[in-house]
């Protein structure tokens, strides 16, 4: 008889069925909330090879993971990213392959990414003002990103969602314009409170904190929101913008703790399995695959054992000095 009981269950009874994979810590942008201006990236031999990433993903899918998100850093700056997407997209038993990107390469790659089996795509967009875009990303070009978004709309993804990190006095005045942009294109948008991951040099995170409550209040002055029960088993709380095809989500690590429903773990580019975004609890899967190449059972035993290390919750405090020194690009956001 087939055993359908979940294999990845943590100490708090949460079933893990979602893996986020950072395939590189590198990026062509330097977003002010994500990175410092001068970053040192990992040397090539320290990061997982594409074959190792595929191998680990297969092991997770056999253990009941149905959804994999490819992220980074910027996943599309890694050479071979498309081949990897094709290989992961072909893993039998995987229900959903999705990805998160800054869109800098979507104008040329969106159709190939869709053909590789990526069903849905999240695109970061914090502002519609070219000068602010340059200031927030330090190196990005808004026009190119907007081209990428347009191409993605033509490529036939089941859903496109924008992600916007809102910072007080940097882009908080653009919340409604961003919603308008999403509604006009029939796509979704999520607003994210900045999280204190890693040391940055552009601002004090406490000074720019802009809570979801205020973002929602700003939106409701122009767009009627209808609460939705649906959730990704994750941090977003969703609303339908009445009379439109768009939904708006709020990811509020500070103002609304979402840990009780956490269903995910993260694989970093260097092969650490992170059990929680806001804690350092981790298991070194690279060591397992390099010391025991080809031994799927041993890898799966390490993954199952890691569930015992998953912490109950994060305790971010935006006003304290960061206690998590890894940046979001090294985390697989």
List interacting residues with ligand SF4 (CB under 6 A): 27, 29-31, 34-35, 72-74, 102, 124, 328-329
At 226 the three-state DSSP class reads: strand
- In the bound state with ligand SAM, the residue whose beta carbon lies nearer, of 197 and 302, is 197
> What is the rounded distance in angstroms from the CA atom of residue 17 to the CA atom of residue 59?
12
- In the bound state with ligand SAM, the residue whose beta carbon lies nearer, of 195 and 265, is 195
Among 71, 171, 268, 300, binds ligand SAM (CB under 6 A): 71
Among 174, 188, 194, 218, binds ligand SAM (CB under 6 A): 194
C-alpha gyration radius of the chain: 19
Q: Which does 195 bind (CB under 5 to 8 A by kind): ligand SAM, ligand SF4, none?
A: ligand SAM
> What is the rounded distance in angstroms from the CA atom of residue 26 to the CA atom of residue 198?
15
- In the bound state with ligand SF4, the residue whose beta carbon lies nearer, of 262 and 328, is 328
Over the window 259 to 288, marking each residue x when it contacts ligand SAM by CB under 6 A and - when it does not, the resulting string is ------------------------------
In angstroms, the Cα distances linking 206 to 209, 211, 254, 322 are 5, 11, 11, 11
| 191: β partners | 164, 250
Q: Which does 60 bind (CB under 5 to 8 A by kind): ligand SF4, ligand SAM, none?
A: none
* 322 closest CA partner among 143, 203, 199: 199
What is the DSSP pairing of strand 96-101 with strand 118-124?
Answer: parallel
Among 56, 70, 149, 197, binds ligand SAM (CB under 6 A): 197
Among 195, 265, 267, 303, binds ligand SAM (CB under 6 A): 195
At 216 the three-state DSSP class reads: helix
Whether 77 and 140 have beta carbons less than 8 Å apart is answered as: no
Q: Which does 190 bind (CB under 5 to 8 A by kind): ligand SAM, ligand SF4, none?
A: none
> What is the rounded distance in angstroms from the CA atom of residue 30 to the CA atom of residue 21?
20
Q: What torsion do the CA atoms of 54, 60, 64, 68 make, to the nearest 10 degrees? A: -60
- In the bound state with ligand SF4, the residue whose beta carbon lies nearer, of 29 and 316, is 29
- In the bound state with ligand SAM, the residue whose beta carbon lies nearer, of 15 and 82, is 82
- In the bound state with ligand SAM, the residue whose beta carbon lies nearer, of 87 and 124, is 124
- In the bound state with ligand SF4, the residue whose beta carbon lies nearer, of 31 and 283, is 31
Q: Which residue has the tokens 């087939």?
A: 2
Structure tokens at 272: 């650490």
Residue 192 in contact with ligand SAM, rule: CB under 6 A: yes
Binding site for ligand SAM (CB under 6 A): 27, 33-34, 71-72, 74, 100-102, 124, 163, 165, 192, 194-195, 197, 328-329, 333
């Amino acid at each position: 008889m087939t055993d359908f009981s979940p294999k990845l269950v943590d100490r708090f009874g949460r079933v893990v069925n979602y893996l986020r994979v950072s395939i590189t810590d590198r990026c062509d942008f330097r977003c002010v909330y994500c990175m410092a201006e001068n970053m040192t990236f990992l040397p090539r031999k320290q990061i997982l090879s594409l074959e190792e990433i595929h191998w680990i993903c297969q092991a997770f899918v056999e253990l009941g993971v149905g959804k994999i998100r490819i992220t980074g850093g910027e996943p599309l700056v890694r050479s071979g990213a498309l081949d990897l997407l094709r290989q992961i997209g072909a893993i039998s038993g995987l229900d959903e392959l999705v990805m998160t990107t800054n869109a800098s390469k979507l104008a040329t790659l969106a159709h190939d990414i869709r053909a590789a089996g990526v069903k849905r795509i999240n695109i970061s967009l914090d502002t519609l003002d070219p000068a602010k875009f340059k200031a927030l990303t330090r190196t990005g070009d808004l026009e190119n990103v907007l081209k990428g978004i347009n191409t993605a709309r033509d490529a036939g993804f089941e859903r496109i969602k924008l992600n916007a990190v809102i910072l007080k006095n940097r882009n908080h005045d653009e919340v409604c314009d961003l919603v308008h942009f999403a509604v006009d294109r029939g796509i979704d948008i999520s607003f994210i409170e900045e999280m204190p991951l890693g040391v940055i040099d552009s601002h004090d995170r406490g000074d720019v904190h802009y809570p979801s409550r205020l973002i929602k209040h700003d939106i409701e002055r122009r767009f009627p929101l209808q609460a939705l029960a649906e959730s990704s088993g994750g941090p977003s709380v969703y609303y339908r913008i009445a009379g439109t095809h768009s939904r708006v989500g709020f990811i509020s690590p500070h103002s609304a703790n979402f840990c009780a429903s956490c269903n995910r773990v993260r694989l970093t580019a260097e092969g650490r399995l992170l059990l929680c975004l806001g804690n350092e609890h981790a298991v070194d899967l690279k060591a397992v695959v390099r010391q025991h190449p080809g031994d799927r059972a041993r890898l799966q035993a390490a993954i199952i054992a890691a569930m015992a290390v998953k912490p109950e919750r994060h305790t971010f405090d935006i006003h304290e000095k960061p206690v998590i020194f890894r940046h979001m690009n090294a985390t697989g956001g």
